[in-house]
Copies of this chain bind each other. A is one copy, B any other.
């Protein structure tokens, strides 16, 4: 019993130490394990199953908007990485270098892809000739490597899993439309599937992607009031096309450069799910992303008929389309409840001899712990409705939490005070200069999260320098 015990021992409370609570949850919900490879992790079955559901849901949405999957090499020759000046400056300091193949030293170093713009550009330069070859709307699912100094499970690791979309278009307008379209796919996915509300907006020049003309982002707020950049979509204009000479003959028979975009979402979204929805009993998974949605737990399972009925319930719910399992391990019901709660399974069904006699079972929601006594014949319907309600409630609760932790600052004193004492988003006006961004980071420890599409007029002047304001910005401390 030693190992099961460990799982359900109380974890650090999130109010006491949020970072330790997070580490406890990822370990005890068996999402990841550390490895002998510094900064890299094992994603265990319970964690990988969440990623498979994320992949499935995102990939389906991608295909609905015409995305095709491809696979490009994991290695980038050094000379290729260097072709776009801003891009190499942004990434070269944090890549892993392959110098030897087998017993021989390579003539040219290869880096392990930190992102694949340069490879896609090299490919497109060969593959695109005519307007008939456009648009290219390609995506790949893969892992990438960034040699981070400090790492945290899911949030920042030297290798992580993601998808990276890379598109090429005949016009600037079409590229901009695709950039926004994919940002919207991400935002809808986060809200509808992960129950995480997001702020859509544009990054400042300081925070944009290395080589991009414009970076758009969705930003979400974790339970501790820190922000998480949850997905980005970049418009490159024709910058990469010029660096890599990606030209096509247009309908008017002239040579033109393509316009490109890229967009990505990563396994850090598993971290977001944990930090938005989790509680002091462990993980709480939104029903739509949960690998197991319902756990049937028999009580006094050796009493006649209990196990059989529990199995029948599991089979009935499975047949009705719910991802259901039964926990018939040789452990006490209390252990099983604690395990199901730690793992964030949205609904459990308790069934004991007395329930069996009365012809009902007890349905318990993971998030609110609300209990319902439900007649057998109504179980499938009730559980379905409960899961739908829970999905909706989780989004609304996360939205209410975010809104309650979003502040508006008019003066720099207010801003400073909020940054120090009120974890959350701060909305404030900005003049557009990087000097003010740098100063606010230096003095208050916050970065610009985004210039939201939904702009508000808070005041006329920049929160930092007092000069005329250009944009309302969301500021915050970020993962």
Supply 22 A–B pairs (Cβ within 8 Å), ascending by A: A2-B130, A3-B132, A33-B127, A35-B119, A35-B123, A37-B75, A37-B76, A37-B77, A40-B73, A42-B71, A42-B72, A43-B71, A49-B68, A74-B159, A96-B101, A96-B110, A97-B99, A98-B112, A99-B99, A101-B147, A112-B112, A142-B143
Residues of B within 8 A of A68 (CB): 45, 48-49
Q: Is the CB of A45 within 8 A of B99?
A: no
User: With A35-B123, A93-B103, A102-B147 in contact, do A73 and B138 touch (Cβ < 8 Å)?
Assistant: no
Across the A-B interface, give the 3 residue pairs with the lowest CB-CB distance, nearest first.
Answer: A40-B73, A45-B68, A101-B147
Q: CB-nearest residue of chain B relative to A110?
A: B37
Q: CB-nearest residue of chain B relative to A68?
A: B45
Q: How many copies does the complex hold?
A: 2
Tell yes or no: A122 within 8 A of B by CB.
yes
User: With A69-B52, A70-B42, A96-B98 in contact, do A36 and B77 touch (Cβ < 8 Å)?
Assistant: yes
Q: Is the CB of B45 within 8 A of A69?
A: yes
Q: Is the CB of B143 within 8 A of A74?
A: yes
Contact among B42, B52, B93, B100 with A99 in the assembled complex (CB-CB below 8 Å):
B100
Tell yes or no: A156 within 8 A of B by CB.
no
Residues of B within 8 A of A150 (CB): none
Q: Is the CB of B74 within 8 A of A48?
A: no
Q: CB-nearest residue of chain B relative to A30?
A: B127
Task: Say whether chain A's binding surface is mostly helix, strand, loop, or mixed.
Answer: mixed
Tell yes or no: A129 within 8 A of B by CB.
yes
Q: Which of A83-107 contact B (CB under 8 A)?
A: 93-103
Tell yes or no: A44 within 8 A of B by CB.
yes
Tell yes or no: A41 within 8 A of B by CB.
yes
Instruction: Report which A residues bind B (CB closer than 8 A).
Output: 2-3, 33, 35-37, 40-45, 48-49, 51-52, 68-77, 80, 93-103, 110, 112, 119, 122-123, 126-127, 129-130, 132-133, 138, 142-143, 145, 147, 158-159, 161
Q: Is the CB of B95 within 8 A of A70?
A: no
Contact among B2, B45, B122, B147 with A36 in the assembled complex (CB-CB below 8 Å):
B122
Q: Is the CB of A73 within 8 A of B130?
A: no
Q: Is the CB of B98 within 8 A of A97?
A: yes
Bound: A95/B41 CA distance, A = 21
Contact among B3, B112, B133, B147 with A3 in the assembled complex (CB-CB below 8 Å):
B133
Q: Is the CB of A70 within 8 A of B96?
A: no
Contact among B49, B101, B110 with A69 in the assembled complex (CB-CB below 8 Å):
B49
User: With A43-B70, A44-B70 in contact, do A159 and B102 touch (Cβ < 8 Å)?
Assistant: no
Bound: A475/B147 CA distance, A = 47
Bound: A400/B223 CA distance, A = 64
Bound: A44/B2 CA distance, A = 50
Residues of B within 8 A of A3 (CB): 129-130, 132-133
